[in-house]
Amino acid sequence: MKNSVETRWLAKQTIGAALFVLLLCSSASAQASGAKSTSRCNAAAVEPVSYVSLPGHPFSTIASHDGCWLFVSLTSSNPKSANGVAMLSRAEGRITLKKVYGYEPRRQAVNCG
């Protein structure tokens, strides 16, 4: 039981760190791209609610500073689906999945003695 809690805590910490790094990278690239892309990504949505198919269960979302990129933490109970972070793009009133950064926590041996 304790090992399971420690593994979940470690996974959450690592995913949080990965989100932070991705957010920093996207913010720097967004600043370099200028105002042209900012106006495209802040266009009015086509529909009031957007649904995006993701390869896992989303549990947290962080937007880039300019709002053009969304980073979504994903978990999965299916061993064939990866845990990780999905990167979504907001452009011309639509949200699209661009890439999934997979993450699997390292298994560590536990000394029970």
Domains of the chain, by residue range, sit at: 2-103
Q: What's the rounded mean pLDDT across residues 41-49? A: 84
Q: What's the rounded mean pLDDT across residues 72-93? A: 85
Cα separations in angstroms, 5 against 14, 55, 98:
14, 24, 32
Q: What's the rounded mean pLDDT across residues 73-96? A: 86
For the chain, give the mean pLDDT: 75
Q: What's the rounded mean pLDDT across residues 97-112? A: 76
Pick 108 or 88 by higher pLDDT. 88
Backbone φ and ψ for 107, nearest 5 degrees, come out as -80, 130
Does 68 have pLDDT greater than 80? yes
Percent over 70 (pLDDT), the chain = 55
Burial, 103: exposed, middle or buried (Cβ in 10 Å; 0-12, 13-18, 19+)?
Answer: middle
Q: Which amino acid would we find at residue 41? A: C
Pick 30 or 105 by higher pLDDT. 105
Cα 100-26-12 angle, rounded to 5 deg: 55
Where b means 16+ CB within 10 Å and e means fewer, 46-58 reads eeeeeeeeebbee
Residue 85 contacts residue 72 (beta carbons within 8 Å):
yes
Does 70 have pLDDT greater than 90? yes
